[in-house]
């Protein structure tokens, strides 16, 4: 029996509860949008300073040439990751707890990739030449080096964005049609009529749609593995102490799912409260997400320990020094912060009541996201700060420009999420109905139709 | 939809709808079923065949695989530059490009197939559609000639339709 059915809500109630979210917004929504747009303006102002006065405005300097921007890039790609896991992988496994949360997770994926994609462009310094990464005929007959992990990354991220966006939009079409059929204002009617592309839910529509959706899920699933594996190869293919390890792809994939599920919790808990979605998003869903966090936290912790073990076992002085430097060197606060947030704090979920304690989950989700940002910081900064030649060692000074662009990215992400939840159904109407009991006039005789 | 008239039956119960579909199929009439969500019972009752979307997807994926490798190999051959004694055409390095292009083109092929086979965008062909069909009701629209309207109407009511309405066909 479906989760939503436990309170005996009907199909109409699902439409009522979800489409109520699209009603004209209150002051709180405008305040949230204003804060997000203000942060975007701050970020844009900082970026213009960097464009006008050069990369010196950022703290990037030898030897840490990747700095905060690549940390942010990896962080946001990681956030994007679990959306596809929840929407595609859990769809193939027929996990019913995904239904009320997957739409928001998919939206999070698309907007997080849109955020992540900004950082390589910001980082290259001259963004008007960013298209050089793409293979295109040019006057020098030069092509990108397809053996470079950075070019793999361009293909992996652009494919991920395209496929995630298509999967997200296709999934939205039947629900937009439901919104269209209840729209009251001319603007909304036009918006939903155009974006639902005339969807009617005829048996022919559903037949091809469901076949395509299953294939989408099957094609998006390898992306869950590939995207963060490719991102991890940006590091692992380089002969840098602390980076050159075969454990990186599974370690990054688990970390990405870990941070992404935490971000889903950060977003869905306030949404559930504000829009009173308690009947649709129930304690069982939080319990299932908590278990996913416990699993991925365990994998991440194991990976951290494995890194230390392999550094010791390799008997390589550069590796050994790197893994001494991380917990005891200049950036030790980041290491211990990461260890607390990603390894220690999630252990609280082994206590069953805390897996459904909403306040606890909300605080923990924020702690995990801080921890996962620190993890990327830890990987990038410490390894670049202590490569092979001591004469080339160095530190890092953050600049206000980097800080401004970082918070601007959060504003950018928040702005799209804020707009999305007010204009499009943030909870999947049709898929919730699919797991509800079908109304039968004669339930005993219904079996003969099978 | 064939027929100058479209008889629209609105159903609350799935078993009633399935009974009506069986009747209409037995009479060999043109029909269309609307439902607020996909359900295997409706799919079995209406279209036992498998959707051709998968063939388009498979073709797109194969093309993507070939295109990805071809792009990387052709670019490497166009300006041969040996780096670190590695092969100019280093297939392991190109696997990522081939892999990503397989998924990208395969997925775009699914999108194109869904739009093609569902006939989307579909602004004008909503014969017999009712906004309740995206909410909590099922619909069965049957195409027929003017002379057969009463018979079809009676048949849908007999199957358990909440209400039956006659509209012009398309």
ipTM: 0.93
Residue B168 banded pLDDT, cuts 50, 70, 90 = confident
Lowest mean pLDDT among A35-39, A221-225, A402-406: A221-225
What is the model's pLDDT at position A417? 95
Do B58 and B81 belong together in one domain? Answer: yes
Radius of gyration of chain B (CA): 25
Residue A442 placed within a domain: no
What is the model's pLDDT at position A7? 55
**To 5 degrees, how large is the angle CA A351–CA A356–CA A358?**
120
Residue B123 placed within a domain: no
DSSP category for residue B142: E
Task: Please say whether the beta carbons of A219 and A86 come within 8 A.
Answer: no
How far apart CA A373 and CA A106 sit, in angstroms, is 21
Do B63 and B110 belong together in one domain? Answer: yes
With an 8 Å Cβ cutoff, is A438 touching chain B?
Answer: yes
Do B28 and B70 belong together in one domain? Answer: no
CA A16 to each of CA A19, A129, A157, A268, A330: distance values in angstroms, whole numbers, following the listed order = 5, 49, 37, 19, 55
Radius of gyration of chain A (CA): 23
Angle between helices A248-274 and A203-236 (to 10 degrees): 130
- What CATH number did the domain enclosing B149 receive? 3.30.70.120
Residue B59 placed within a domain: yes
How far apart CA A105 and CA A84 sit, in angstroms, is 8
Mean pLDDT of the region B63-79: 94
Give the closest of B50, B72, B136 to A12, CB-based: B136
Query: Is A200–B34 a contact, with Cβ atoms under 8 angstroms apart?
Result: yes
Residue A70 banded pLDDT, cuts 50, 70, 90 = very high
B138-144, strands of its sheet edge to edge:
B30-34, B138-144, B5-11, B163-168
Residue A2 banded pLDDT, cuts 50, 70, 90 = very low
Do B113 and B163 belong together in one domain? Answer: no
How far apart CA A79 and CA A369 sit, in angstroms, is 9
Do B28 and B46 belong together in one domain? Answer: yes
Residue A443 placed within a domain: no
Give the closest of A135, A205, A219 to B103, CB-based: A219
Mean pLDDT of the region A295-321: 95
Residue A444 placed within a domain: no
Residue A141 placed within a domain: no
Task: Please say whether the beta carbons of B36 and B135 come within 8 A.
Answer: yes
Q: How many CB pairs under 8 A join A and B?
A: 208
What is the model's pLDDT at position A328? 96
Residue A441 placed within a domain: no
Residues spanned by the domain of B113: 53-117
Do B137 and B107 belong together in one domain? Answer: no
Place of tokens 């992540």: A116
Tell which residue, A65, A34, A121, A36, has the closest CA to residue A407: A36
What is the model's pLDDT at position A1? 39
Spatial neighbors of A387 by CB under 8 A, at least 6 apart, are: A63, A240, A241, A318, A393
Residue B89 placed within a domain: yes
Q: Which helix (DSSP H) or strand (DSSP E) does residue B167 occupy?
A: strand B163-168
Q: Dihedral angle at the C-alpha atoms of A58, A64, A66, A72, nearest 10 degrees?
A: -70
Place of tokens 């639902």: A196
Do B38 and B73 belong together in one domain? Answer: no
With an 8 Å Cβ cutoff, is A181 touching chain B?
Answer: yes
Name the B residues in 140-159 with CB < 8 Å from any A CB: none
| Contact residues, chain B, for A136 at CB < 8 Å | none
What is the model's pLDDT at position A447? 55
How does the average pLDDT of chain B come out, rounded? 91
How far apart CA A305 and CA A326 sit, in angstroms, is 13
- What CATH number did the domain enclosing A417 receive? 1.20.1630.10
pLDDT in tens, A98-127: 888 889 999 999 999 999 999 999 998 899
When divided into structural domains, chain A yields a total of: 1
Residue A3 banded pLDDT, cuts 50, 70, 90 = very low
Residue A72 placed within a domain: yes
How far apart CA A42 and CA A37 sit, in angstroms, is 9
Name the A residues in 121-150 with CB < 8 Å from any B CB: 135, 141-147
More confident of the two residues A46 and A133: A46
pLDDT in tens, A388-422: 999 999 988 889 999 999 999 999 999 999 999 99
When divided into structural domains, chain B yields a total of: 2
**Backbone conformation region of residue A149, classed left if phi is above 0, alpha if psi is from -120 to 50, else beta:** alpha
How far apart CA B71 and CA B97 sit, in angstroms, is 9
The two tokens of residue B152 are: 């079809």
What is the model's pLDDT at position B170? 61
How far apart CA A280 and CA A17 sit, in angstroms, is 9
pLDDT in tens, B5-28: 899 999 999 999 999 999 999 988
Q: Between β-strands B5-11 and B138-144, what pairing exists: parallel, antiparallel or unpaired? A: antiparallel
What is the model's pLDDT at position B125? 64
Residue A5 banded pLDDT, cuts 50, 70, 90 = very low
How far apart CA A65 and CA A147 sit, in angstroms, is 21
Mean pLDDT of the region B133-161: 92
User: How far apart are the CA of A341 and the nearest CA of chain B, in angstroms?
Assistant: 33
Do B133 and B144 belong together in one domain? Answer: yes
Strand partners, B144: B5
How far apart CA B35 and CA A11 sit, in angstroms, is 11
Give the closest of A173, A208, A438 to B14, CB-based: A438
Do B108 and B138 belong together in one domain? Answer: no
Chain A's closest residue to B48, CA to CA, is A207
Lowest mean pLDDT among A97-101, A385-389, B132-136: A97-101
Residues spanned by the domain of A71: 4-134+147-435
The separation between the first and the last C-alpha atoms of chain B, rounded to the nearest angstrom, is 7
Mean pLDDT of the region A421-440: 91
How does the average pLDDT of chain A come out, rounded? 91
Residue A4 banded pLDDT, cuts 50, 70, 90 = very low
Cis peptide before A404 (omega within 30 of 0): no
């Amino acid at each position: 029996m479906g989760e939503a059915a436990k309170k005996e809500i009907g199909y109409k109630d699902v439409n009522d509860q979800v489409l109520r979210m699209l009603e004209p917004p209150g002051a709180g929504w405008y305040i949230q949008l204003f804060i997000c747009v203000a942060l975007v303006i701050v970020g844009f102002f900082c970026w213009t300073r960097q464009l006008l006065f050069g990369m010196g405005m950022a703290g990037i300097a030898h030897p840490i040439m990747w700095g905060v921007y690549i940390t942010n890039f990896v962080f946001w790609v990681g956030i994007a990751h679990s959306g596809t896991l929840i929407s595609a992988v859990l769809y193939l496994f027929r996990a019913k707890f995904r239904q009320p949360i997957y739409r928001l997770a998919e939206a999070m994926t698309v907007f997080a990739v849109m955020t992540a994609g900004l950082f390589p462009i910001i980082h290259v310094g001259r963004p008007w030449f960013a298209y050089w990464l793409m293979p295109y005929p040019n006057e020098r007959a030069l092509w990108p080096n397809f053996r470079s992990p950075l070019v793999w990354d361009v293909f992996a991220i652009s494919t991920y964005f395209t496929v995630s966006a298509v999967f997200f939009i296709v999934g939205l079409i039947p629900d937009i049609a439901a919104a269209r059929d209840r729209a009251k204002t001319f603007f909304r009617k036009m918006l939903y009529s155009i974006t639902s592309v005339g969807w009617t839910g005829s048996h022919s529509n559903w037949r091809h749609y469901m076949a395509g959706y299953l294939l989408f899920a099957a094609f998006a699933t390898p992306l869950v593995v590939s995207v963060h594996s490719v991102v991890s190869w940006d590091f692992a293919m380089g002969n840098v102490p602390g980076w050159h390890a075969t454990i990186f792809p599974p370690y990054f994939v688990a970390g990405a799912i870990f941070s992404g599920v935490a971000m889903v919790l950060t977003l869905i808990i306030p949404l559930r409260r504000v829009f009173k979605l308690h009947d649709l998003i129930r304690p069982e869903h939080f319990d299932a997400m908590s278990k996913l966090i416990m699993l991925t936290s365990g994998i991440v912790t194991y990976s951290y320990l494995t890194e230390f073990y392999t550094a010791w076992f390799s008997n390589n002085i550069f590796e050994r020094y790197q893994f001494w430097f991380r917990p005891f060197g200049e950036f030790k606060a980041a290491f211990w912060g990461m260890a607390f947030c990603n390894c220690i704090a999630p252990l609280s979920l082994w206590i069953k009541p805390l897996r459904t304690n909403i306040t606890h989950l909300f605080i923990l989700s924020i702690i995990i996201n801080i921890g996962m940002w620190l993890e990327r910081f830890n990987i990038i900064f410490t390894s670049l700060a202590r490569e092979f030649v001591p004469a080339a060692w160095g530190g890092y000074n953050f600049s206000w420009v980097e800080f401004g662009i970082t918070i601007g990215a959060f504003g950018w992400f928040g702005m799209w999420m804020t707009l999305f939840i007010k204009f499009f159904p943030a909870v999947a109407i049709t898929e919730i109905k699919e797991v509800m009991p079908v109304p039968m006039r004669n339930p005993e005789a219904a079996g003969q139709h099978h | 939809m064939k027929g100058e008239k479209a008889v629209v039956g609105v159903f609350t119960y799935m078993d009633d709808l399935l009974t009506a579909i069986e009747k209409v199929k037995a009479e060999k009439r043109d029909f269309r079923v609307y439902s607020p969500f996909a359900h295997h019972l409706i799919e079995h009752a209406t279209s036992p065949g498998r959707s051709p979307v998968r063939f388009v997807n498979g073709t797109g994926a194969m093309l993507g695989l070939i295109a990805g490798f071809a792009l990387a190999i052709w670019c490497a051959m166009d300006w041969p530059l040996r780096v670190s004694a590695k092969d100019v055409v280093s297939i392991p390095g190109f696997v990522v490009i081939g892999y990503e292009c397989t998924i990208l083109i395969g997925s775009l092929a699914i999108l194109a197939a869904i739009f093609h086979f569902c006939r989307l965008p579909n602004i004008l062909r909503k014969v017999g559609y009712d906004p309740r069909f995206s909410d909590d009701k099922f619909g069965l629209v049957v195409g027929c000639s003017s002379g057969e309207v009463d018979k079809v109407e009676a048949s849908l009511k007999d199957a358990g339709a909440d209400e039956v309405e006659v509209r012009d066909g398309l």
